[in-house]
Amino acid sequence: MTVNLNIVPFVSVDRMMKLVLAIGIERFLVELAAYIEEDFRRWELFDKTPRVASHSVDGVIELMPTSDGQLYGFKYVNGHPKNTRDGRQTVTAFGVLADVGNGYPMLLSEMTILTALRTAASSAVAAKYLAPEAARCMAIIGNGAQSEFQAIAFKALLGVDRLRLYDIDPAASTKCMKNLAGMGFDIKLCASAQEAVEGAEIITTVTADKRSATILTDNMVGSGVHINAVGGDCPGKTELHRDILLRSDIFVEYPPQTRIEGESQQLDADHPITELWQVMTGKAAGRTDARQITLFDSVGFAIEDFSALRYVRDQLQRTGLYEELDLLADPDEPRDLFGMLLRAEKATGLAVAGS
């Protein structure tokens, strides 16, 4: 992609929506999943740190940085469940991809939509290695902003075409069913979480409340299922009863983060968990038994956002779906930053020293 080095490509919400539609959402998710899997396979190359979080009684604001030594990426993201009462999104985000060699940003992008896409793609990538073979039926408990993306990703990557939906707000389930109409799903609206999991081979929990909840109790989970636990993503927020974790083989992105923020915060510090990248590279086993309960304790990690930003950047030259953002100072001589003001003074007629 050839651009003026002092101009940063910017993908707005409008351009992101047009990019997804131009590529097609299923193809977008499949291709994004390939980028995520590629980066997980080179996991050991990356700088890794738990996200830097600022918690309040209302929610959390986080920074999620990483680098593979050539590119650096970070995401700013919030989580404020009460926002929906004010007509605002629970989660909003933006991200930056930069050149490690010179520190210049190469991309600034909205990541509210992109995070939903990368979360769904990451879930489906994990399920490729952990879900029962030829699983077709998935329960989705929590039918808010993430639910449709999860459904489409599992259909595109695994062939899931039967959905059982439940939310404490029936309108959310109706919304989800309506949005997915005509996309090849057989959808059943359920009156309880118990009803939703009956007959499901994959169970996705993706609720928003920032609290320790029990969305699934131990008696609701039979042998042989895969649980895609997406909703738990901060200290004090969980969705599963602890006994489910004790019966499951648990797979995570980055243990130092997951043990603080995920379902695994309920476990002793030495309880065994397996990193997903190890399964992808053959260093650890994934699903090995038809009766095994596998649990992807997903909290989201910076490398997934890095993959998403990298994928979006690679689509820009051929699609042109970005804007040029005048973000970086460009003095005639690199050490003469003040000279830029003098140049602007001549161009605008405004005085540097003021009136």
DSSP state of 132: P
Q: How confident is the model at residue 81 (pLDDT cuts 50, 70, 90)?
A: confident
pLDDT at position 353 over 80: no
pLDDT mean over 47-62: 92
* Catalytic site includes residue 233: yes
Task: Return mean pLDDT, the chain.
Answer: 94
Mark out the alpha helices in 8-136 (DSSP H runs).
13-23, 25-41, 112-130
- The pLDDT value given to residue 208: 65
Q: How confident is the model at residue 91 (pLDDT cuts 50, 70, 90)?
A: confident
Rounded CA-CA distance 273/190 in Å is 32
Exactly one of 68, 161, 167, 233 is catalytic; name it: 233
pLDDT mean over 178-204: 97
Residues 6+ apart with CB under 8 A from 106: 8, 9, 71, 97, 98, 99, 313
How do the domains of the chain map onto residue ranges? 8-113+304-327, 123-300
Structure tokens at 185: 């799903």
Rounded CA-CA distance 19/11 in Å is 9
Strands (E), the chain: 8-11, 52-55, 60-67, 71-79, 93-99, 105-110, 137-141, 162-166, 186-189, 202-205, 212-216, 226-229, 238-240, 249-252, 274-275, 294-297, 323-325
Which of 160, 166, 169 shows the shortest CA–CA distance to 197?
Answer: 166
Task: Answer whether 8-113+304-327 and 123-300 agree in fold.
Answer: no
The number of CA neighbours under 13 Å toward the Cβ of 132 is 20
- The pLDDT value given to residue 84: 86
Percent of the chain's residues with pLDDT above 90 = 84
pLDDT at position 8 over 90: yes
- 107-136 burial code (b ≥16 CB/10 A, e <16): bbbbbbbbbbbbbbbbbbbbbebbbbeebb
pLDDT at position 19 over 70: yes
pLDDT at position 3 over 70: no
Percent of the chain's residues with pLDDT above 70 = 96
CATH number of this structure's domain 8-113+304-327, picked from the four choices 3.40.1440.10, 3.20.20.100, 1.10.10.10, 3.30.1780.10? 3.30.1780.10
Residues 6+ apart with CB under 8 A from 119: 146, 149, 150, 230, 298, 300, 304
pLDDT at position 332 over 90: no
- The pLDDT value given to residue 318: 94
Query: pLDDT of 252-302, one tens digit each?
Result: 999 999 999 999 999 999 999 999 999 999 999 999 999 999 999 999 999
123-300 adopts what CATH topology? Rossmann fold (3.40.50)
30 - beta bridge partners?
none
Query: pLDDT of 108-162, one tens digit each?
Result: 999 999 999 999 999 999 999 999 999 999 999 999 999 999 999 999 999 999 9
pLDDT mean over 307-334: 95
Rounded CA-CA distance 63/326 in Å is 23
What is the distance of C-alpha 135 from the center of its chain?
Answer: 23
**Cβ atoms of residues 107 and 312 within 8 Å:** yes
- The pLDDT value given to residue 15: 98
Query: pLDDT of 211-230, one tens digit each?
Result: 677 889 999 999 999 999 99
Which of 261, 256, 215, 269 shows the shortest CA–CA distance to 237?
Answer: 261
pLDDT mean over 332-348: 91
Q: How confident is the model at residue 235 (pLDDT cuts 50, 70, 90)?
A: confident
What is the distance of C-alpha 276 from the center of its chain?
Answer: 15
Rounded CA-CA distance 207/124 in Å is 18
Inter-axis angle of helices 25-41 and 302-319, nearest 10:
130
Mark out the alpha helices in 159-292 (DSSP H runs).
170-179, 193-197, 242-247, 255-261, 276-280
Which of 204, 226, 206 shows the shortest CA–CA distance to 139?
Answer: 204
**Cβ atoms of residues 53 and 237 within 8 Å:** no
